[in-house]
C-alpha cells in the first residue's frame, strides 16, 4: 500500500531560478544539488522532496510514492506485474540520487513516470526555513498533493483505483470541471486528476503551511516579487476545506499554497460530489486567463 507522496521532480530551463523562488518565496530549505545540477528543496526532515533538474523545456519528470518498508513495496510490485504493468528496477545511481533504500518505477497509461521507494534519508530536526516560517504539514501525510491532467478521467480512475489502490475522497463535476480526488493517508488527497480531452499534463503541486500567518506572509510576498503572479486569489475549497492561493512558478506548473486542509478517516469518510471547487474566493486573475493550465502536451 502506498503510504505517501514522497517527492516530485521536474526539469526546466529555468531551474536556477528555483534557488530564489524555492527559498525566499516558498520558504523551503535548499540542500546539496543533485548530480546533474538539480536544485533540491527540503520542506521537512526528509533530506529533499522537490527536485528541479536542468532541461531544455519544462517537463514533469516523476512523482515519488513512499512505502512503509521493503515488504510492502515488494507486494505492491508483484500486484503491478500481475496487472501487466511493466516495472523497472532502479539502478544504484538512481537509488543513491533519491537517497532511498530502494527505488522502482513504471509509467501510467499516459506516460507519467511514477517511482516507488522506501527508506528515504531523513535527519531529525534538520529543517530550517530561510525565512520566518513555522514549516509545512508533512509527517505521515507526505509532501502535499499533485494534480495531473488526463484525457479520460474514467480510464484514469480505473488505473489509479483498481491497480494502484488510491482511495476516492470525492469528485467535483460541474461546468468545465471533471475532477477526482484520492487519498493514501490522512491527507484529504495526495493525488487529483482532472479531465481535458486530448491533453496530458501536470497542473499543480500543493504545499500546506502549518501556520495561517505563513500563508498570509506568502501572499504579501507575491506583491513584492516581479517573478511571481497570482493565478487564483485567496479562497477556500469545498471538498478539502483548504484555504489557499494559486501562484505561478518559474517552470510552467502552478503552486497551491495552503493552510488548514481536512484529515480523512477511512472508517467514517463518505465520498461526495460537488458542483463547484470553492466555497468562496479563488477568483481567476488575468494571468490565469492567459496562462496554460500547467505543463501540458497533446496525447500521443
CA atoms of 77 and 185, how far apart (whole Å): 19
State whether 9 and 158 are in the same domain: no
97: CATH:
3.10.180.10
Co-location of 162 and 253 in the same domain: yes
Q: Parallel, antiparallel, or unpaired for β 278-281 and 59-67?
A: unpaired
Instruction: Tell me, yes or no, whether 274 lies in a domain.
Output: yes
Within this chain, do residues 275 and 171 fall inside the same structural domain, yes or no?
Answer: yes
Q: Has residue 128 been placed in a domain?
A: no
Burial zone of 141 (CB within 10 Å; 0-12 exposed, 13-18 middle, 19+ buried): buried
- Reading the chain (300 residues) residue by residue, the pLDDT tens digits are 999 999 999 999 999 999 999 999 999 999 999 999 999 999 999 999 999 999 999 999 999 999 999 999 999 999 999 999 999 999 999 999 999 999 999 999 999 999 999 999 999 999 999 999 999 999 999 999 999 999 999 999 999 999 999 999 999 999 999 999 999 999 999 999 999 999 999 999 999 999 999 999 999 999 999 999 999 999 999 999 999 999 999 999 999 999 999 999 999 999 999 999 999 999 999 999 999 999 999 997
Q: Is residue 167 part of a domain?
A: yes
- Grid coordinates standing for 116? 516507488
Query: What is the pLDDT, as a whole number, of residue 69?
Result: 98
Contact by Cβ (8 Å): 195, 152: yes
User: Tell me, what's the pLDDT at 108?
Assistant: 97
Whole-angstrom Cα distance, residue 131 to residue 127?
12
Q: Do 198 and 158 share a structural domain?
A: yes
What range does the domain containing 112 cover?
Answer: 4-118
What's the pLDDT at 165?
Answer: 97
Cα distances (angstroms) measured from residue 106 to each of 9, 86, 164: 15, 6, 11
Please classify residue 116 by burial: count the beta carbons closer than 10 Å to its beta carbon, then call 0-12 exposed, 13-18 middle and 19+ buried.
buried
Q: Do residue 87 and residue 148 come from a single domain?
A: no
**209 near 257, Cβ under 8 Å?**
yes
**How many beta carbons lie within 10 A of that of residue 253, not counting itself?**
25
- Output the pLDDT for position 60: 98
The upper half-sphere exposure of residue 87, i.e. CA atoms within 13 Å in the direction of its Cβ, equals 20
State the distance between the two ends of the chain, measured CA to CA, in whole angstroms.
30
pLDDT of residue 300: 78
Number of domains in the chain: 2
Residues 92 and 157 in one domain: no
Amino acid at each position: 500500500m502506498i503510504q505517501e507522496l514522497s517527492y516530485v521532480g521536474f526539469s526546466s530551463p529555468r531551474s536556477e531560478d528555483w534557488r530564489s523562488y524555492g527559498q525566499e518565496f516558498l520558504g523551503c530549505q535548499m540542500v546539496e544539488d543533485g548530480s546533474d545540477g538539480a536544485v533540491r528543496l527540503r520542506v521537512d526532515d526528509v533530506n529533499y522532496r522537490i527536485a528541479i533538474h536542468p532541461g531544455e523545456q519544462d517537463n514533469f519528470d516523476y512523482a515519488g510514492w513512499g512505502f512503509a518498508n521493503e515488504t510492502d513495496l515488494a507486494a505492491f510490485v508483484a500486484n503491478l506485474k500481475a496487472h501487466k504493468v511493466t516495472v523497472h528496477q532502479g539502478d544504484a545511481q538512481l537509488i543513491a540520487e533519491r537517497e532511498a533504500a530502494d527505488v522502482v518505477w513504471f509509467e501510467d497509461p499516459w506516460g507519467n513516470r511514477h517511482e516507488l521507494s522506501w527508506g528515504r534519508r531523513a535527519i531529525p530536526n534538520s529543517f530550517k526555513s530561510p525565512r520566518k516560517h513555522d514549516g509545512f504539514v508533512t509527517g505521515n501525510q507526505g509532501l502535499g498533493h499533485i494534480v495531473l491532467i488526463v484525457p479520460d478521467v474514467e480510464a484514469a480512475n480505473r488505473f489509479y483505483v483498481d491497480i494502484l489502490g488510491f482511495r476516492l475522497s470525492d469528485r467535483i463535476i460541474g461546468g468545465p470541471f471533471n475532477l477526482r480526488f484520492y487519498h493514501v493517508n490522512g491527507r484529504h488527497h495526495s493525488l487529483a486528476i482532472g479531465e481535458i480531452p486530448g491533453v496530458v499534463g501536470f497542473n499543480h503541486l500543493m504545499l500546506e503551511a502549518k501556520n495561517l500567518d505563513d500563508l498570509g506572509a506568502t501572499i504579501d510576498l507575491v506583491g513584492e516579487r516581479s517573478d511571481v503572479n497570482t493565478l487564483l486569489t485567496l479562497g477556500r475549497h469545498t471538498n478539502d476545506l483548504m484555504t489557499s492561493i494559486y501562484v505561478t512558478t518559474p517552470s510552467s506548473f502552478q503552486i497551491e499554497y495552503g493552510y488548514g486542509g481536512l484529515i480523512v478517516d477511512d472508517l467514517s469518510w463518505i465520498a461526495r460530489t460537488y458542483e463547484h471547487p470553492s466555497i468562496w474566493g479563488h477568483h481567476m486573475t488575468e494571468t490565469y486567463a492567459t496562462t496554460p493550465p500547467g505543463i501540458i502536451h497533446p496525447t500521443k
